[in-house]
Amino acid sequence: MIKLLYFASLREALGVGNEQVELPDRISDVAALMRWLQDRGELWRNALADPHLIVAVNQQVASTDTVIQDGDEVAWFPPITGG
């Protein structure tokens, strides 16, 4: 299982803030995970296509080729406003 998190405007657009998912074996990096989520439908395809989105794996900012493993926490969010 991996934990997925979505914040702020992205959370509102998707209508979900967090979920636990069982990862198919073939998904080993952020890019593959993103494509898998985008296959959920148009809403997901469009929302995750925003090039400004930031992705973090285990609370560290990551990139499309960052490796994903069972037990990881992956978060997507729009650019931060700051405190």
Partner 1 sequence: MISVQTDDIDPGRELEALRRACAGKAGAVVSFMGLVRDLNEGDSVSQLTLEHYPGMTEKALGEIREQACRRWNLLDAVIIHRVGPLAPSDRIVFVAAACAHRGDAFRACEFMIDTLKTEAPFWKKEVTANSTRWLPGSGNVPS
By the criterion CB under 8 A, which residues form the site for partner 1? Answer: 5, 7-9, 11, 52, 54, 56, 59, 61, 75, 77-83
Q: Which two tokens stand for residue 42?
A: 């148009």
CB of 70 to partner 1, least distance (A): 19
* Phi, psi for 10 (deg, rounded to 5): -70, -40
CB of 25 to partner 1, least distance (A): 28
CB of 39 to partner 1, least distance (A): 25
Best CA proximity match to 8, nearest among 83, 65, 72, 76: 76
At position 61, the amino acid (one-letter code) is V
